[in-house]
A and B are shown apart, each in its own frame.
Chain A
Amino acid sequence: MKEDLVLPAPREATADSSGDPLLVVEGLTKHFPVKGGFPIRRTVGAVQAVDGIDLTVHVGESFGLVGESGCGKSTTGRLITRLLEPTAGKISYRGKDITHASRKDLAPIRSEIQMIFQDPYSSLNPRQTVGKIISGPMEINGIEPTGGREARVRELLEIVGLNPEHYNRFPHEFSGGQRQRIGVARALALEPKLIVADEPVSALDVSIQAQVVNLLRKVQDELGIAFLFIAHDLAVVRHFSQRVAVMYLGKVIEVGDRESIYTRPRHPYTHALLSAVPEVNLAEETETGGRERIRLAGDVPSPISPPSGCRFRTRCWKAQDKCATEEPPLVRISGNHDGHLTACHFPEDPTIEARDEDIVLDPALAALEEGLNDD
């Protein structure tokens, strides 16, 4: 098992969609019950955190999952690692159905799916030494590497760029970035095939973010581990992932390879999301005419009672009657690349060039800009 992990996975096999998929998620749904009522508490509704999403992650591939806060990204990650019990749908790992597998059933594949957590301050047990934290998963799964666990832990510390002499230190003696590296080392300890990284850098300083992302890339390239990379930072995902899915309110609304999503997006929400990324390079903007500018109004609707039909219609500038009655299927729209699927009745043009007129739906922002133009 160790040998095939040490070899770098062939990049070609991972980039395209051929070969047996590692992880297949079909119609995955998670509804959290909302209890209420007096005197007898009963279920009065459900937070539809994740509502029927389909994903496929191939061997050695890095799959990005983006969306704004509260859209169900993290819930999806926790469902796949089976920290949460799915309400409906199917998760299969290498063809084996693990949707409702018990802890004992999961035991053989536990070592193959690992997780990196968001908050480095709460993901390490403050009472255990670094050595104990990293060797814990090996101990649980009864893995006895050649040369002993301690040697393996020191090796892992070196892989993630920490001093192997830190073996006997405690988490409170490390900075946020170092702690996150310890978290990465713990995830690598079992030589997994798939790592679910739940916003692994969003709690870190920008300068440290780059270090950790590059570490994850290095790990992915050298060990050929597939990643499900959950983030709200589009730039980080672009840097890290070969394929990207965009989520909105518990649904995947667009999925495709990196180039398609970032340069030829079709769904209005993807356009809005991309245009919200702050641009540093002003010179380039003026040369090429700049990027499109879309500013949405209002908040994401409540996932307890999501809008009918297309969930984005309440904030969409192209919404029509059809959007309220008919839910758009996630399909390939003509002009899209292979594997680029969009769920929209009225897709946008596949470009992110500046439009003739900015779309500013936020009335306050619009009024402000009006005033500026008058001056």
Chain B
Amino acid sequence: MTSPIDIEGGGTSVVVDGDQQPKSKPEEAKQLEGRSPGQLMWIRFKRDRTGVISAYVVIFFFVVGLAAPLIAKLYGKDPYTVFADERPELFDSAGVPLQPNGGISGEFWFGLEPGNGYDVFTKLLYGIRNSLMISLAVTVATVLTGIVLGVAAGYLGGKPDQLISRVIDFLLAFPSQLFFIASMPVVVSLFVSPRDETPVYVRVVALIAVQWVLGWMSLARILRGTTLALREREFIEAAKVSGASPVRIIRREILPNVVTPILVQSTYMLPNFVTAEAGLSFLGVGIVEPTPDWGQMFSKASTELVMQNDITYMFFPGISMIIFIVAFNLLGDSVRDAFDPKTAR
């Protein structure tokens, strides 16, 4: 897979060479440097204003997630401090912040959570961090599985293809949301006995595993089709005539040509995993208190205490998630358009 960073460097230098040094002789060799399909895609992508803005938004969220501990440190609070105990003067007897809008102030930027009195700003930062990390892990796992099984099915054909395709059909027939909800407690209980306290990492691993098992099929199916079409192309035959091994053919000839569907699909898949993970945490089978999580904040916002006393609490996780999902989906569209300029929207 070509990383976008590589393409960035190559793409810009080519444009600069072509524009500025058309006459200088020593540069001639450099001038004839061709533009790879990846570089062309990058040039097209950079022209797409929506895509570039969405990319910046998405990058902003990832930076926020990665730098959450740093930001929290500068801000001076952490999401685990129970301010209802530390600063009881800020809350009434029911645990609701006394100040309006959920206690938003210069000290608590996004207010305080009714009940335990967690700081909402740091909680959201860590929530974004945890949600994105889990979703990223799921995406990486599903993409890798999709590549291995999809390309194997497409390239090998025959019996292995039949087997993998039937497994895909079978798993696609599952009602995935119901399966997630039903299987989460089962998977967790595989690791921990029901009487013990469940460690956070077990829940995280279970969340990743459950979404991975039911998440890889769509990409695998697309890659199977693409590989099947590529396998019949004459450049594969040319490699075979030269005596290339199947491993080399897959690595050097097929994989570079399936980068497009992989990138496009993963930009569509990641926001879906974010919402799915949030949904599970909202329903109480994902991440639970006190670990901060995007979806779990919605769950908290819908409890009676918060709903009736602090409607602003919902605002921050809600708006941030909407912005993230919309930006990521727009980014996915732009990536697809950049790779495939002939398809009209």
Contacts and interface: CB of A to CB of B under 8 A. Distances in A.
A23 to B, nearest CB: 15
Given A125-B257, A166-B32, A170-B36, A103 B245 contact: yes
A113 B245 CA distance: 17
B243 A106 contact: yes
Nearest to A165: B32
B242 A140 contact: yes
B34 A125 contact: no
B342 to A, nearest CB: 13
A321 to B, nearest CB: 44
A190 B239 CA distance: 12
Contacts of B239: 136, 140
A110 B257 contact: no
B36 A140 contact: no
B243 A110 contact: yes
B1 to A, nearest CB: 11
Contacts of A128: 252, 256
B166 to A, nearest CB: 15
A126 interface: yes
A81 B240 CA distance: 9
A125 B32 contact: no
Contact of B238 (A106, A123, A166): A123
B37 interface: yes
A106 B240 CA distance: 11
A170 B35 contact: yes
A169 B32 contact: yes
Given A115-B237, A136-B252, A127 B36 contact: yes
Contacts of A167: 32
A119 B234 contact: yes
Interface string B27-41: 011001111111000
Contacts of A78: 237
A125 B230 CA distance: 10
Please list the 9 inter-chain residue pairs (A to B) with the smallest Cβ-Cβ separation, ordered nearest first.
A169-B34, A110-B243, A137-B242, A123-B234, A127-B256, A117-B234, A165-B32, A170-B34, A125-B235
B73 interface: no
Interface of B: 28-29, 32-38, 233-235, 237-245, 248, 252-253, 256-257, 259
A107 B243 contact: yes
Nearest to B32: A165
A114 B241 contact: yes
A180 to B, nearest CB: 11
Contacts of B34: 129-130, 166, 168-170, 173
B32 A190 contact: no
Nearest to A167: B32
B240 A140 contact: no
5 contacts: A78-B237, A125-B257, A130-B34, A140-B243, A170-B37
A141 interface: yes
A43 to B, nearest CB: 14
Contacts of B28: 165
A316 to B, nearest CB: 35
Contact of B241 (A83, A122, A126): A83
B235 A122 contact: yes
Contact of A110 (B33, B233, B242): B242
A170 B35 CA distance: 7
Contacts of A81: 241
A83 B37 contact: no
Nearest to B40: A172
Given A125-B256, A165-B29, A168-B32, A115 B241 contact: yes
B257 A127 contact: yes
Contacts of B33: 168-169
A160 to B, nearest CB: 15
A201 interface: no
B275 to A, nearest CB: 33
A118 interface: yes
A103 B38 CA distance: 33
Nearest to A121: B234
Nearest to A123: B234
A122 B252 contact: no
B248 A140 contact: yes
Residue of B29, B38, B244 most packed against chain A (CB within 10 A): B244
Nearest to B28: A165
A266 interface: no
B235 A124 contact: yes
B101 to A, nearest CB: 54
A218 to B, nearest CB: 22
Given A114-B241, A190-B242, A125 B35 contact: no
Nearest to B258: A127
Contacts of B240: 83
Residue of B235, B245, B259 most packed against chain A (CB within 10 A): B235
A264 interface: no
Given A83-B240, A103-B243, A118-B234, 15 more contacts: A83-B241, A107-B243, A117-B234, A123-B234, A125-B256, A127-B38, A127-B256, A128-B256, A129-B34, A141-B243, A165-B32, A169-B33, A170-B35, A170-B36, A190-B242
A226 B149 CA distance: 42
B235 A83 contact: no
A186 interface: yes
A226 to B, nearest CB: 16
A335 to B, nearest CB: 41
Contacts of A119: 234
Nearest to B256: A127
Contacts of A183: 238
A110 B244 CA distance: 10
Nearest to B39: A170
Contacts of A136: 239, 242, 244, 252
Contacts of B235: 122-125, 133
A63 to B, nearest CB: 18
